[in-house]
Structure 1
Amino acid sequence: MNHWAHQRLLLKVRSGSQAHGLATPESDEDSRGVCVPPKEFLYGLSSFEQWESEGGDHVVFSLQKFVRLALDGNPNIIETLFTRVEDHLFVHPLAQELLERRDMFLSQKVGFKFGRYAIHQLQKIERHHRWLTAEPPTLPKPEDFGAVLGENSPKFPDTASERAFRAAVKHHRAYRAWRKNRNPKRAALEEKYGYDTKHAMHLCRLLKMGCEILENGEVHVFRPDADWLRGVREGGLSYQELLNWVKEMEQRLADSESRSVLPPEPSFDEAEALVVRTTEAYLRLPEGRERRGA
């Protein structure tokens, strides 16, 4: 990690299962950080938004991008702001205001985004469950969709048929890529329980966190329900029980959003002013140890 971003850090925290209190002995050490880029990236023609390690276990965002994502309610960024102090790996004095004013980023948008991330997890679970339990899709042929084979390309009867064919091809390719690139540990979970229980654990965590934020304005990154979530990862819910639970939680999330006392959106002006203050203060620091990160 010799990129300059690590020498210009404002904040660095543990992330992922370690920060959630859900780590296993095999879990990786992940981190997220925030930095102030050099002047040429602020005033010049160069640009910088983030640095990411190979594999994506460690990420450092520019302060500008980090705050833009926070304003948008991005769950990964909100978790970074609310990670417990024990999981702070580095905090620059100039990051104190960002942490002290982190509640400014909480809005109804955050609950919605946590819910949306959860549904993305559910879609992956459902797709893989179909592939595990149903006959694998065969390679689609144009003639199966009413096409007449021409000299150069098939002629479909209408655009709807052509779109259906292309969608089927895309689905088949996704299936083959999944079979080829399956993580062995994830594959073992799917074979044992009929669905990816690790995805399910994160799905449940995201839905619970979304409701907590909307109902109480609280962000519990280190999970008080870690034992229950670990039980989900270990197959504590059948596939149908998981779907039923998700349906109930989606309704709770919608009800919580309608009753939430959080503002519909955070204040852009306040966030922008914080970015300007922090950046200008950082650039006034002398070169050397005063600027160094981790």
Structure 2
Amino acid sequence: MKENFKDILHRHSIYQVITGSTAYGLANDHSDVDQKAIVILPPTYLLQLSKEWETESYHNPDIEYHSLKKAMNLLNAQNPTMLETLFVKEEFVKKQTKYGELLRNNRHLFLSQNCYYSFYGYAKDQLMRIKNGLNKVTEKDQNEHVRYTLQRMLSQMDEKYPSLKNGTVIIKDVFSQQSQKQEADLSVSFDAIPLTELHGCISELAGTLKSYNKTSQQNKKPTDKLHKHAMHLVRLLLMGIELLEKGTLTVDRGVDRDYLLSIRNGDVRWDDFFELTEELFQQLENAKEKTLLPNATDDRKINDLYFEIMSNFYNI
């Protein structure tokens, strides 16, 4: 009988952990047990003309598989949910080969000041969803959210458009038009830049703005999960602050558990919640100014780690 792909992914995973509310210490009777795994497929699946496999998700149980390359790119981009996988307690590590252990032992290679942008961005997106659900989004909220979204994009474009390093693209202003759609003014300054790179950069920014306006015009109704989203928003900010201040992540939130659960249970008034998040966003900003983390990750060392794992795995 031919082995199905899920079994192949499971058999060739090098690192598999329990994540989500269970790993945070915030699970209840209704919580799912989420897992993530990192996979290196055998050569018969790697050396094919078809598009290289990256990610697959399954339910019952809930598990998300990533190729090693995809996982390491997400880690290098400071993706919060991927960073957590390397910092969960040992008891939540379900499988760890010598290659997975090598990745976990080098987890600090993936930490830099850029984690500020990812934690801030994920938290801000979550906050906007909550405010949308409560019909509390203001014009100022929307303008600030658009500005940050575009700035975050710009900060991540250097690799794709190298010539951006030779000039500046600045988000000068974000404002609402009479149609209630957001518009942005840019300041662009270059001595020379290939037209294709400039066009690509501006097109991506314009596409994001268009997508944001389309989404914001949709009718959003409150859901019964807003308090759960609020709990995870606060957790995310607390973890981001810790990462910038201490250079590590504590996934289990035992120290904050009672207060976080009170948010999920609806015991915290929304006005108090919004006041708290405003304070936490400011703490995150302050932590970024004082952090000892490097400005950026060392791509050479991360590439060397990837090569070491892959070459040893394939006996190259």
Q: TM-score, normalised by structure 2?
A: 0.70
Measure, in 2, the Cα distance between the counterparts of 1:52 and 1:283.
25
How far 1:112 moved relative to its partner? Answer: 2.5
* Runs of 4+, deviation exceeding 6 Å: 160-163, 166-169
Measure, in 2, the Cα distance between the counterparts of 1:171 and 1:116.
17
1:206 aligns with 2:210: no
Bigger proportion of residues as strand: 2
Task: Give the aligned residue type for 2:6.
Answer: N
Higher relative contact order (CA 8 A, sep 6+): 1
1:268 corresponds to which residue? 299
How far 1:163 moved relative to its partner? Answer: 8.4
Q: 1:57 aligns with which of 57, 62, 84?
A: 62
1:120 corresponds to which residue? 125
SS in 1 for 2:312: helix
Question: Structure 1 pair 73/170, CA: closer, same or farther in 2 (3 Å)?
Answer: closer
2:276 corresponds to which residue? 245
2:100 corresponds to which residue? 95
1:6 corresponds to which residue? 10
How far 1:56 moved relative to its partner? Answer: 9.5
How far 1:113 moved relative to its partner? Answer: 1.0
1:231 aligns with 2:235: no
SS in 1 for 2:30: coil
1:1-294 alignment, distance < 5 Å: 2-46=6-50, 47-54=52-59, 57-130=62-135, 171=216, 173-175=218-220, 178=221, 186-187=223-224, 196-224=226-254, 225-284=256-315
CA offsets per residue over residues 221-246 of structure 1, 9 Å max, x none? 11131121111111232111111111
CA offsets per residue over residues 244-285 of structure 1, 9 Å max, x none? 111111111111101110011111111111111111212239
Q: TM-score, normalised by structure 1?
A: 0.75
Count of residues in Structure 1 that have an aligned counterpart in Structure 2: 243
Structure 1, 66-75 or 48-57: larger mean CA deviation: 48-57
Aligned-residue sequence identity (percent) comes to: 28
C-alpha root-mean-square deviation of aligned residues, in Å?
A: 2.7
How far 1:39 moved relative to its partner? Answer: 2.0
Could you tell me which runs of 5 or more consecutive residues in structure 2 were left unpaired when the two chains were aligned: 138-176, 182-209
CA offsets per residue over residues 88-128 of structure 1, 9 Å max, x none? 01111221111111011111112321121111110010000
Task: Give the aligned residue type for 1:198.
Answer: K
Are 1:112 and 1:210, in contact at CA under 8 Å, matched by a contact in 2? no
SS in 2 for 1:130: coil
2:152 corresponds to which residue? none
Are 2:33 and 2:61, in contact at CA under 8 Å, matched by a contact in 1? no
SS in 1 for 2:252: coil
